[in-house]
Structures are given as structure tokens and as C-alpha cells.
Amino acid sequence: MKVSIGIDVGGTNIVGGVVGQSGEILHKIKRPTEANAGSAIVLDRIAGVVTDLQASIAEGSEVTAVGVGIPGLVDPEEGMSRFAGNLGWRNVPVVQELERRTGLPVVIDNDVKLYVYGEAVAGAGRDCRHVFGITIGTGIASALVSDGTIFHGFKSMAGEIGHVRMDGVEENCACGLYGCLETVASASGMVRQARKALLEGRESVLRNWYPGDENFDGLTAADLSKAMDEGDELATGIMTRAGVLNGRALAAAVMTISPEIIIVGGGGALAGDRLMGPLREQLNELLLPDFREGLKVVVADNNDEAGIIGSALYANKRISERSGR
Amino acid sequence: MKVSIGIDVGGTNIVGGVVGQSGEILHKIKRPTEANAGSAIVLDRIAGVVTDLQASIAEGSEVTAVGVGIPGLVDPEEGMSRFAGNLGWRNVPVVQELERRTGLPVVIDNDVKLYVYGEAVAGAGRDCRHVFGITIGTGIASALVSDGTIFHGFKSMAGEIGHVRMDGVEENCACGLYGCLETVASASGMVRQARKALLEGRESVLRNWYPGDENFDGLTAADLSKAMDEGDELATGIMTRAGVLNGRALAAAVMTISPEIIIVGGGGALAGDRLMGPLREQLNELLLPDFREGLKVVVADNNDEAGIIGSALYANKRISERSGR
């Protein structure tokens, strides 16, 4: 049996899995990234995950390839991580270093591109030719997978929908611009707004949930969902606006690209219809009828594992193509 | 010598040309479309243009394919014009009808996609992998050509950037929505705004240029350029706003797709820096630095003929692929 290994390198954890050819996860490992230790140590840790996953594989099975999803700007052709803010990486030759450590063929790409690839070929988009995915988490990013091919664009930079400036949004963004979609419509952006409102004295049930926590540091996006279910105005307003803004940004992308399906993933997708409701309404309002008809707008099938699945299957595909098999 | 024929079918004229393999036009014909006569007559007229172009070809030359660009919604796989408002067409089997009339292999596609293809392979984008083109004319439409492949999307609908809703725009659009980019930022949209302002009594040099024309029916986009050069406030305001709005819509597309070059074509491109100045400024303001660096923003090389060139070269490519040559 042929399998491949998929790794998702986050700022907090490295998660990896052995993946069968239909996208089924056969074994999974999760370990802290310890990004502060520097890239050489993190690469050692990734290689360690690969080795331990290999050890779990049934006798007679063969690992065809290792795929690694890395946040930030990735040059998949050169096998380099150009810039990954939350890892502290700049121009790290990931493919070379991991191939040397593991002896296996390694493919890298941007983590969101591989996540959406996973959903496109083995998740919610498996029956669709043109898949547009958006992850709503700490930030907001997107990817386009068309006929099984990831669209990279110039300098592999496609996918920064989170930095589209939205009218009526004035917040400064960590990127240096202001008014970026992700400042208010990402999971972190929603929490940030709620904390700010609470510190300014706004009434909300959220206030009672953190009695000893004067700065509301413990507040999460899940709290906002819970408060919204209790009819809380503050939480409802923030969540609804996030859905509306995501819908508006998506509408522009849909008219320009015409995907068959929009897949929403990341922590924000856990809010379900609380977020997806206003998002879908906005699409309905803004899209030309021909675009509305037949367009699917769904949450990811494998929100937690699409990154592993996509990394593994994409690496398998790339290595197969390269060897002409 | 192998040549192909490219035809651009507009609401007013059919233009066609014999095109060499590097995109050079060897012979060109222009004839009225007479769309009111119905699709059968228009198809006869297109076939007539093809036959006459064939007659112009040097002895020993071979026509490999005929490419036809049609406005509106085109299904290139089925060879059907699904809907072309300004031709009055719905579900016209163009490929079948033209192949029967001409005996040549015919390929059809949306006119803007073929125009941008022409610029991508034999115009301003010839050295770029990821080309995003926008035509600013009666309406505004776009196309993405990546590694020499036209991106079609679901139902071949990609490219309707002209119907993205822009904040601060309230005008009703012919499409049934309101606030669409093209209502104010297309060449026609600019003229419409100028006429409206003149009819409302707004001061402008434009008023003096149409002494007998109380409704300013003769007003053109070229007049706006000329008035702007004379420092006219009305014309300058309309043109600048159109540049800004096009720039804003393009910025969102650039962050999502990451093209290497933006090519601006159509009648609006004739305004040159009057329009391109504010358009570029807006991109500079809204794009992340990595997107700004290296991005080219230019007007089309062959504004009048890119449609013919693209239709011919694309048809040649598709037919070659099909026959495995």
C-alpha cells in the first residue's frame, strides 16, 4: 500500500499524519513547535515527526512523499520558506533540510493552499472543479484550487483576501495597512473587538464569564458564539458584522473568479450558521443571479485535518508527476 | 505557412483578421454586424468574413483554425453562445453553425477572455506568467490568463469584476443590481455621469461643445479626456473617480489572485494616464508591499486588435491540442 505523510507546521503545534491515497488518516501525531528554539531545531522536530509516523506504517507499505504546510510566504519551486512571521523564519531551505534529515522526497507549500487542496480533493469540494477556500482564524487567507491544481500566482502570493480593505473598517492591521478584512472579521479580530468593547464598559453577558480577568485575556471566539446563543447584543453584532464583511469580500472574488464552491474553514468555521448565515445572505444580495445559481457555500468537511490530508495528497501528486509515474 | 483566423463579434461590427503564428495580423476585414437581422444572418456574415479572409491568404498557406470572440456568456466546451444581450442571442450553437458554413475547425470563447489572451501571449503580457486583464468600455470585464491558459471558472463565468458593488456608488445597473463598478467607472458610465451633471446645470466646458444638442447625446469619453486637459472640474472629477474605483476593485483582485501584470484595455484605456494615474495610486495605497513590488500596471499593446489576435492564436492552440500535434 502506498501512503504519504502530511505535516502542518503552526506557530504552536506541529501536526502530522500518515495519509492513504483516498485521503484517509491512518495515524496522527501532534507536538509543540517550540518555534523560539530556531529553525534548525524546528526542522529537527518536523523530521522527528516524520520518522515516528514512518515507524507506525504497516509492513509492506511505502511512503511516497512528505508534504509540509508552512504559514506565510512560501516558494514551493525553490523549496524555501520566504517569510513566516509566527515561526520567525526567513529564507529557510525547508525541502533541502528535511530531505537530508529524512531521506524522503519533500514538497512544501503555503499551509492555507494545502488546507484548501485537502478540502478540494478529499473534502467538501471533492465533486467540484473550481474550489475557493477561505480560512477564518488568527488571520484570514484564501486559496483557489482549479481542476486539482493549486493556483499560486506571481511569487506564489495568491490568497491574501484577508488584507483587502473594507469600507467602514478603520482598524490598523499588523501588516502595516489599515481596514483589512481580517482586522475585524477573523476569529482573533472578533475577540479583539469584544475585549475592546468590554474594556470600554459595554454591557454584555461576556463580562460575567471572566470575573477575575480584568483584561478579558481569556476571551475566545467560542465565547462569542455562546453569548450570541444567549441573545447577547455585543456578541451578535460582532459576529454578524464579521459574516457580512466576509460575504462582501467573497462576493468580489466570486464575480472575478467564479468558483463552484466556497469552503469556509479555520476556527471561525466553528461558529457555523452564526457566521455563515450573514455571510450567505450577503452573497445572495451581491451576486449576479447566474453566480448565485448552483454556487455552494459550506464549512469544511475536515476542518482539523484538511491541512494534513492536503499536504500528504499534494506531495504525493507532485512527486508522482515529477517521476513521470 | 500556417495561419489562423480571428474574429471579434461586437454589437456594431464584426472584425476579423488573418493572424500569423507570432500574432502578426496579415489581413483585416471590418463589417457591420446587423444584429437585428437575427442569429442566422449574423452567422452567415461571420462565415462570409472567414471566406473572404481565406481568399486573401498567400498560396501555400494553411488556415489551421478559426477563433471567434463573442460577448456575454459563452460555453466554449459546448460551442454555444448562452447569452449575448447586445446580439440578442440565447443558446446559439455557434461552433456547429460556423463549421458547417466554413468547413474549418472553429473555437469560440468570451470576447474579453480572448482579448486578454491576445495581450497575454502576444501583447503587453508576453513576458509574464500570470496576466490579469480588464477592459473598460461600455461595461467593465476581466480575465485571468495563467501560464497561457484562460481561467474560465464555474459555468465559464469568471471575469465579471464590473459587477462588484463599490461603496459610495448608488447607481442602478442594467444587470439588475446597483452600485456595480461599471455603472460609474466604465467609459459609458463616465459619459452617463457627465450628461446627468450637465442636464442638472453643472458648469463645464463640455456644455459649450454641444450647442445644438440639448441632451448632450453626442458626448463621448474622448470629450472627457479633452475637457480634463483643459482643467475642467466636472470631467476631472468623473475621470479621477473612475480611476480610483477601478484601482480599488483591482486591488482586491490582486491580493486574491496575485497577477504579475494588470493590462487595461477597451475605450477607457485611451484616456491613458488621466485614468491610469489615479488607478495606480490607489493600487499603491491598498496593496501589501510584496504585491506592489514587481507588479506591472499598463495599458494594452494592441487595444484595437488584441481580440482578433487572441481569438486566432487561442483557436490555433486549442485545435493543435485536440489533434495532438
Whole-angstrom Cα distance, residue A113 to residue A105?
19
B2-119+304-322 shares its CATH topology with B127-299: yes
Whole-angstrom Cα distance, residue B166 to residue B140?
13
Whole-angstrom Cα distance, residue B77 to residue B107?
9
According to the model, what pLDDT value does residue B231 have? 97
Query: Among A130, A255, A289, whose Cβ lies nearest the Cβ of B161?
Result: A255
Answer whether A146 sits within 8 Å of B156, measured CB to CB. Answer: no
Query: Smallest Cα–Cα separation from A20: which of A252, A309, A220?
Result: A309
According to the model, what pLDDT value does residue B323 have? 81
Whole-angstrom Cα distance, residue A254 to residue A266?
20
Cell of A227: 453569548
Chain B residues near residue A165 by CB distance under 8 angstroms = 248, 251, 286
- In angstroms, what CA-CA distances link A271 with A76, A235, B275? 32, 12, 43
Residue-wise pLDDT tens digits, B17-52: 999 999 999 999 999 999 999 999 999 999 999 999
Residue-wise pLDDT tens digits, A302-321: 999 999 999 999 999 999 99
Residue B298 pLDDT grade (very low, low, confident, very high; cuts 50, 70, 90): very high
- Residue A100 distance to chain B (closest CA, Å): 31
Helix, strand, coil percent content, chain A, rounded in steps of 5:
45, 25, 30
Q: Which residues of A touch B (CB under 8 A)?
A: 73, 128-130, 142, 144, 146, 151-161, 163-165, 167-168, 175-177, 248-249, 251-253, 255-260, 286, 288-291, 294-295
Cell of B53: 479572409
Whole-angstrom Cα distance, residue B4 to residue B106?
10
Q: What is the CA radius of gyration of chain B?
A: 20
- In angstroms, what CA-CA distances link A252 with A166, A185, B140? 11, 16, 14
Q: What is the CA radius of gyration of chain A?
A: 20
- In angstroms, what CA-CA distances link B321 with A260, B5, B17, B115, B314? 26, 17, 22, 20, 11
Whole-angstrom Cα distance, residue A98 to residue B269?
49
According to the model, what pLDDT value does residue A323 have? 81
Cell of A160: 491574501
Neighbours of A217 (CB within 10 A): 8
CATH class of A128-299: alpha beta
Rounded mean pLDDT of B148-164?
97
Q: Which of A134, A255, A285, A287 is the mutation pick for testing B, counting most B CBs within 10 A?
A: A255
Answer whether A155 sits within 8 Å of B286, measured CB to CB. Answer: no
Residue-wise pLDDT tens digits, B205-218: 999 998 888 899 99
Q: Is residue B269 a contact partner of residue B306, using CB atoms and an 8 Å limit?
A: no
* Secondary structure (3-state) at B137: coil
- In angstroms, what CA-CA distances link A97 with A80, A81, A101, B49, B104? 10, 11, 6, 61, 55
Residue-wise pLDDT tens digits, A19-75: 999 999 999 999 999 999 999 999 999 999 999 999 999 888 999 999 999 999 999
Distance between first and last Cα of chain A? 16
Burial A147-170 (b: 16+ CB within 10 A, else e): eeebbbbbbbbbbbbbbbbbeebe
- Residue B251 distance to chain A (closest CA, Å): 7
Task: Give residue B31's identity as a one-letter amino acid code.
Answer: R
Cell of B97: 453553425
Q: Which residue of A has its CA nearest to B282?
A: A165
According to the model, what pLDDT value does residue A150 have? 98
According to the model, what pLDDT value does residue A191 have? 97
Answer whether B158 sits within 8 Å of A256, measured CB to CB. Answer: yes
Q: Dihedral sign, CA of B183, B186, B188, B193?
A: positive
Query: Smallest Cα–Cα separation from A65: which of A81, A80, A53?
Result: A53
Chain A residues near residue B257 by CB distance under 8 angstroms = 144, 151, 153, 158, 256-257
According to the model, what pLDDT value does residue B58 have? 87
Chain B residues near residue A255 by CB distance under 8 angstroms = 160-161, 163-164
Whole-angstrom Cα distance, residue B134 to residue B3?
27
Chain A residues near residue B151 by CB distance under 8 angstroms = 146, 151, 257
Whole-angstrom Cα distance, residue A286 to residue B29?
41
Cell of B182: 461599471
Chain B residues near residue A158 by CB distance under 8 angstroms = 256-258
Whole-angstrom Cα distance, residue A246 to residue B252?
13
Q: Is residue A81 a contact partner of residue A72, using CB atoms and an 8 Å limit?
A: yes
Q: Which of B91-105, B205-219, B264-278 has the lowest mean pLDDT?
A: B205-219
According to the model, what pLDDT value does residue B305 have? 97
According to the model, what pLDDT value does residue A322 have? 86
Residue-wise pLDDT tens digits, A163-179: 999 999 999 999 999 99
β-pairing verdict for A296-299 and B62-70 = unpaired
Question: How is domain A2-119+304-322 classified at the architecture level of CATH?
Answer: 2-Layer Sandwich (3.30)
CB pairs under 8 A between A and B: 126
Sheet with A89-92: strands ordered across:
A73-75, A80-84, A89-92
Q: Dihedral sign, CA of B111, B117, B120, B124?
A: negative
Q: Is residue B105 a contact partner of residue B66, using CB atoms and an 8 Å limit?
A: yes
Answer whether A288 sits within 8 Å of B163, measured CB to CB. Answer: yes
Whole-angstrom Cα distance, residue B182 to residue A237?
32
According to the model, what pLDDT value does residue B212 have? 86
Per the listing, cell 491574501 goes with A160
The yes-or-no verdict on residue A325 having pLDDT over 70 is: no
According to the model, what pLDDT value does residue A212 have? 86
Whole-angstrom Cα distance, residue A13 to residue A46?
10
Neighbours of A179 (CB within 10 A): 18
β-pairing verdict for B261-265 and B130-136 = parallel
Answer whether B158 sits within 8 Å of A257, measured CB to CB. Answer: yes
Q: Which residue of A has its CA nearest to B147?
A: A153
In chain A, which residue ranges form alpha helices assigned H by DSSP? 39-55, 94-102, 111-122, 181-185, 187-199, 206-209, 221-229, 233-257, 273-286, 289-292, 306-322
Cell of A8: 502542518
Whole-angstrom Cα distance, residue A5 to residue A16?
7
Q: How far is CA B154 from the centre of its chain?
A: 20
Query: Among A142, A257, A289, whose Cβ lies nearest the Cβ of B153?
Result: A257
Q: What is the CATH number of domain B127-299?
A: 3.30.420.40
Residue B322 pLDDT grade (very low, low, confident, very high; cuts 50, 70, 90): confident
Backbone torsions φ then ψ of B236, nearest 5 degrees: -60, -40
Task: Give residue A204's identity as a one-letter amino acid code.
Answer: S
Chain A residues near residue B161 by CB distance under 8 angstroms = 252, 255-256
Rounded mean pLDDT of A139-164?
97
Q: Which residue of A has its CA nearest to B168?
A: A167
Q: Is residue B50 a contact partner of residue B98, using CB atoms and an 8 Å limit?
A: yes
Whole-angstrom Cα distance, residue B247 to residue B251?
6
Backbone torsions φ then ψ of A74, nearest 5 degrees: -120, 140
- Residue B250 distance to chain A (closest CA, Å): 10
Residue-wise pLDDT tens digits, A85-116: 889 999 999 999 999 999 999 999 999 999 99
DSSP per position, B187-203:
HHHHHHHHHHHHHTT--
Q: Write the ipTM.
A: 0.95
Whole-angstrom Cα distance, residue A130 to residue B153?
6
Query: Among A155, A156, A161, whose Cβ lies nearest the Cβ of B255?
Result: A161
* Secondary structure (3-state) at B87: coil
Residue-wise pLDDT tens digits, A176-222: 999 999 999 999 999 999 999 999 999 999 999 988 888 999 999 99
Containing B30, the helix (H) or strand (E) segment is: strand B25-32
Chain A residues near residue B168 by CB distance under 8 angstroms = 167
Whole-angstrom Cα distance, residue B315 to residue B106?
7
DSSP A37: G
B2: β partners:
B62
Contacts of A273 (CB under 8 A, 6+ apart): none
Average pLDDT for chain B? 96
The full set of domain ranges for chain A reads 2-119+304-322, 128-299
Whole-angstrom Cα distance, residue A29 to residue B131?
41
In chain B, which residue ranges form alpha helices assigned H by DSSP? 39-55, 94-102, 111-122, 181-185, 187-199, 206-209, 221-229, 233-257, 273-286, 289-292, 306-322
Answer whether B253 sits within 8 Å of A256, measured CB to CB. Answer: yes
Chain A residues near residue B164 by CB distance under 8 angstroms = 251-252, 255-256
